Every structure is written in structure tokens, then in C-alpha cells.
Amino acid sequence: MDAHAAALAAGEVAPAPAACNESAPSVIDHLEAALADSAPAISSDIQQAIGVLALAASWRQTASYVECPPSAEFLDNYAHATLLGPPDDVPMSDVSGQNGVAVGLVLLGPGVVYPPHQHPADEVYVPLQRIEWTHERHGMPAAVAPGDLIHHVPWQPHSMRVGARPALLLYIWSGDVVTPSRFCA
């Protein structure tokens, strides 16, 4: 950790949160609560590292979600941040190959339902809070404990339902990390 990141983690300098950006998704208002509410199952070192990255990240929303949101409240309660890998909206022709890796964060507001969606990337999630998941198009939601790994193979439909408190998740994509997620028809 460099000196700035260490100072940031210690609260000695002001972060450059996306919340300061007028175009930042409003769910960023829940970021600090989600960081403070990270489960004991996640080691404090990892929580601190994720906090540094989350506060400095550029938070975005998938373009197709913005164009056609699944509910009135969804866009106020969802954002993601790419920490490693191709940035959003990079034309596939600009990326050499489709065997990449991307690492990022997803932030979900209290009570939000993230409907069934899918993508060609293989995905591993590490949720920092308890979330209910489905892993098929019409599956029954089941709770997964914080820190437990969630794996989705390419194009596997999955959905999430958040409880009364916001949720922060770390994800790792591999394979085709350029084609964005899309809601199931």
C-alpha cells in the first residue's frame, strides 16, 4: 500500500469518491455504510483494502440497464466499478482477444432486487454482506453467507435480493470480460 492509500485508509486524507462526481450513481450514498457493515467473516485487512479501492473507484452503470431499467428504483440502488480490466464501453474490436480478466465491485442499495441477468464471462463473487441469490432463470432465492464464494459459469442466469442494509460485492470475471451483462428476456 502506497503512502496515499495508507493515509486514505487511515482517514487522514479525503478520498476522491465518485459521490463527489455529479454524474455518480446515487447508490454511492450507501457505500460507506456498506463498508462499515462488512461482515466479520471478511478479514479486516481485506475490508480495508476493499474500502480504499471502493472510495477511489469510478462507479458506473451498465448502459443497457440505464436504457431499460427493470424497476423504478433499480438505478438508484445499483452501480459497479471496474478495478482491473477493460473499462466499460470499450469496443470489442479494441480488445485483443476475449480471454481476459476483470475485477470489480458491485454496490446494491437496501431492499433492491437485481433481476435475473447473464453474461458470457465466468464469474466469481465474494459478497461482503448476506444476500439472497438465485442461480437459474426462475430459481428460488436462497441466502448466502458473507465471504462465501459464488460461481456462475458463462451465460448462467442469476439474480440477487438485498436485505435491509446495502450490500457490497467483489467480483472476478474471466473469459469474455468485454461483453456486458444483460437482463434475461
- The footprint of Fe ion (CB under 5 A) covers 123
Instruction: List C-alpha distances in Å: 3 to 7, 8, 9.
Output: 6, 8, 10
Q: Return the number of the residue (123 or 176) whose C-beta is nearest Fe ion.
A: 123
Determine the Cα–Cα distance for residues 38 and 98; give it in Å rounded to an integer. 33
Q: Which residue is nearest to Fe ion (CB)?
A: 123
Residue 158 Cβ, how far from Fe ion at the closest point, in Å?
6
CA distance 105 to 97: 23
If the CB atoms of residues 30 and 152 are measured against Fe ion, the closer one turns out to be 152
CB of 106 to Fe ion, least distance (A): 8
Q: What is the DSSP letter of 21?
A: S
Burial 42-74 (b: 16+ CB within 10 A, else e): beeeebbebbbbbbbbebbbbeebeeebbeeeb
Three-class SS state of 156: coil
For the chain, first and last CA: distance in Å? 43
| Nearest distance in Å: CB 183, Fe ion | 11
As measured in angstroms, the least distance from the Cβ of 181 to Fe ion is: 6
Reported residue count of the chain is: 185
CB of 46 to Fe ion, least distance (A): 21
Q: Which helix (H) or strand (E) holds 100?
A: strand 100-108
Name the residue nearer to Fe ion (CB basis): 15 or 116.
116
